[in-house]
Structure 1
Amino acid sequence: MKQFSAYIAVAIMLFIAGPVNAGEKTAPVRMGAGAMTFDTVPGWGLDEDGKSVLGPTHGAVVIDNDGNIYTSAQIGVFVFTPDGKVIRRFVGDEYSNIHDMEIREEEGVEYIYGARNANAEGIKFNAQTGDIVLKLPFPEESGLALKKFSPTAITVAPNGDIILSDGYASNHIFKFDKTGKYLMHFGTKGNELKQFNTAHGMTLDTRYNPPRLLICDRNHEPKGRLLHYDLDGNYIDEVVTGLGMPTSVSVQGDFVSVPDLKGRVVILDKTNTIIAVLGHNPDAKAGRSFNVPQKDWVEGLFSGTHGSYWDKDGNLYVQDWNTSGRIMKLVRVN
């Protein structure tokens, strides 16, 4: 277990460029430390008038084999090229409110798995066509009598089993087979060692063999933590604590990016040591704030940091929980 306070001295190189106004040109901002140093790409993903195309964001980011970037907004999923141009979108009631996403290739086809908190289900759809091939409503066969079902995270085991976290309600984590058949569940709500207080984000931690679940316990005291469980729901250990409000996790090689809703992204190495902090917002009112309009965005400072994903070159794409719809590209500095 690592305490965040032990690494508070991590260097953060940051120049505040001021609010990002539509149509204005802004200089890139350098952030991070050592091997985890990045430059922002001002205006990435904005339209020709310099405005966000997304609408309110409360979602995730994933990247397909061609390098295209998928990000989920309240109205649906938008797909960008690496240079920030929208090439397709899946919008409407069937694609709205996807809080978390994973992408997997299965028999030569890429699929998006999504956790829809406001729509009480998990879904799976073709990443190219948008065709929905599977829905995961609350499993009545679990025998649970839940008053609310609000999934916040989803991931997929190597054998195709689907793991879906009910992070905004019961904090049970449900396991289904690849056809959607309910298998089991684990976890309860609370602040004890093996309980979850908002099991908000989750992914497959491929830094280990066999892979294991890496779970964001966002509101657990003290101040947010990550946990490891095996794929059968057995507790392994507490990975790191004191992360603020960790919302999601993305793994590439030995590294993990962890957005914190209070306005920063923490990078961990293979030993789960914090090696960099990105975009830390010193304004407590701006951190954990949904209501930061585009005219008040500051290049290089995050607000309600919610989702992130690595591309094959080690660049990061970060989404804020934001009323105007904010997604940022961070280019890794060699």
Structure 2
Amino acid sequence: MSTTALSRRNFLGGFGLAMTASAIGPQFSFAGNTQNGGPIILGTGNHKYEWVKNWVKLPPGMKIGSTHGGVVVDAKGHIYFSTDGEQSIMVFDQNGKYLRAIGMEWKPYEDGSGTHDMQINKEGNQEFIYLVSLFRNKFAKITTTGEVVWVKGHPDKSGVYKNKTEFKPTGITVAPNGEFYVTDGYGANYVHRYNANGDYVSSWGGKSTAAKEEGKFSTPHKILIDKRGPEPLVLVTDRANHRLQWFTLEGKFVKVVDGTEGDFLRLPSVLNILGSDLAIGDLAGRVTILDKDNKLVTHLGDGPDPKKRATNRLGPEHWVDGQFISAHGLSWHPSGDLYVGEWNLQGRLVKLKRVK
């Protein structure tokens, strides 16, 4: 099965509702003169960003390849994009200069899927990258130079799976106590919890019905530890249900934000936090910023054409600066800039520079 077929199968079932809501209209501020080369400014108030044109600078002959992965930023400010191309995980500086590639073990596998998500975590004096490989049915911990620390497969002790191929991990995150969590967004719709030693602890979730039960999911695509409150919580993008769900570190349901009213959330796919601000990459063509109370601040790069959202098949001739098509991976930079990797067969990597 192709990457495209699997992804479409998992989110298009809920796509119609999101697109119906989108008829209300985009909620974002767009300024600048694209015809004469002027800056493209997105957002409102304290959240204004310049869409940096032609940000990526590759060596002659190098291509990004298909992108269907994640984005992380290390302590040096270098940006890591996981791709389905020959460079696997590509590393850039803030100016878009290509620095190196790592993780060759996680290059495209069989039908073209490489690393689907990444999380960077500092442990002692060293940073590590936790990653999931969708079609390898595995997840791993590596160094920022690509050395493998460990690799794990499906959580057999969970009792969820008849065989390892049913486990299709899509997201991973690490808690302050060293425990980590893996979402099976394209498989059984579970969240799996592991202790700091990498031992399986517990699972929760399962496929939701039309009633959209709390604690159940329809494509729990990616996951993050939300440390904005008094206690850290596990935050999951329940993508095909158009909502976000929060849980304790033990997996007890806490709260939900439903995005089906007012075109609030279409297909929330990825999350990242800087200070009190939550950035959400929406596969249906935009980035959304929420405040500490999870109230809408702004939508960024919201394209006007619903037919040009949530697809990986639009080539560069269809790309419009200032408009997203399918935001899939995302990370803040400590400077306040945002880096976004789209789901795209040609590979689209975007920088939004914070305007101060």
Normalising by structure 2, we get a TM-score of 0.85
Aligned-partner Cα distance in 1 for 2:327–2:317: 18
* Aligned pair partner of 1:115 in 118, 123, 132: 132
SS of residue in 2 equivalent to 1:219 = helix
Aligned-partner Cα distance in 1 for 2:305–2:78: 33
Aligned-partner Cα distance in 1 for 2:134–2:220: 12
**1:231 match:** 249
- Percent same amino acid at aligned positions? 34
How far residue 329 of structure 1 moved from its aligned partner, in angstroms, is: 0.7
Alpha-carbon RMSD: 2.2
- Determine if contact 1:45/1:52 at 8 Å carries over to the other structure: no
Q: Which AA in structure 2 matches 1:235? A: F
- Whether 1:327 and 2:349 are equivalent positions in the alignment is yes
Evaluate the alpha carbon distance shift between residue 16 and residue 296 of structure 1 in structure 2; reply closer, same or farther with a 3 A threshold.
farther
- Determine if contact 2:106/2:133 at 8 Å carries over to the other structure: no
Normalising by structure 1, we get a TM-score of 0.90
The gaps in structure 1 that reach 5 residues or longer are 19-24
* Aligned pair partner of 1:204 in 203, 207, 225: 225
1:288-307 superposed matches below 5 A: 288-307=310-329
How far residue 16 of structure 1 moved from its aligned partner, in angstroms, is: 7.5
How far residue 32 of structure 1 moved from its aligned partner, in angstroms, is: 0.7
* Aligned pair partner of 1:139 in 155, 160, 165: 155
Aligned-partner Cα distance in 1 for 2:41–2:322: 7
Aligned-partner Cα distance in 1 for 2:347–2:33: 20
1:83-162 superposed matches below 5 A: 83-96=95-108, 97-127=114-144, 129-147=145-163, 148-162=166-180
- Whether 1:65 and 2:82 are equivalent positions in the alignment is no
How far residue 262 of structure 1 moved from its aligned partner, in angstroms, is: 0.9
- Whether 1:262 and 2:278 are equivalent positions in the alignment is no
How far residue 14 of structure 1 moved from its aligned partner, in angstroms, is: 4.2
Which structure has the highest helix share of the two?
2
* Aligned pair partner of 1:74 in 68, 84, 100: 84
**1:271 match:** 293
Query: Which has the larger displacement, 30-39 or 234-243?
Result: 234-243
Aligned-partner Cα distance in 2 for 1:237–1:52: 45
Aligned residues: 320
How far residue 10 of structure 1 moved from its aligned partner, in angstroms, is: 4.3
Evaluate the alpha carbon distance shift between residue 161 and residue 95 of structure 1 in structure 2; reply closer, same or farther with a 3 A threshold.
farther
Aligned-partner Cα distance in 1 for 2:156–2:59: 48
Query: Which has the larger displacement, 197-206 or 134-143?
Result: 134-143
How far residue 27 of structure 1 moved from its aligned partner, in angstroms, is: 4.4
Evaluate the alpha carbon distance shift between residue 321 and residue 172 of structure 1 in structure 2; reply closer, same or farther with a 3 A threshold.
same
* Aligned pair partner of 2:51 in 29, 35, 40: 40
Q: Which AA in structure 1 matches 2:161? A: A
Q: Which AA in structure 1 matches 2:146? A: G
Which structure has the highest strand share of the two?
1
Aligned-partner Cα distance in 2 for 1:278–1:43: 18
How far residue 283 of structure 1 moved from its aligned partner, in angstroms, is: 1.3
SS of residue in 2 equivalent to 1:134 = strand
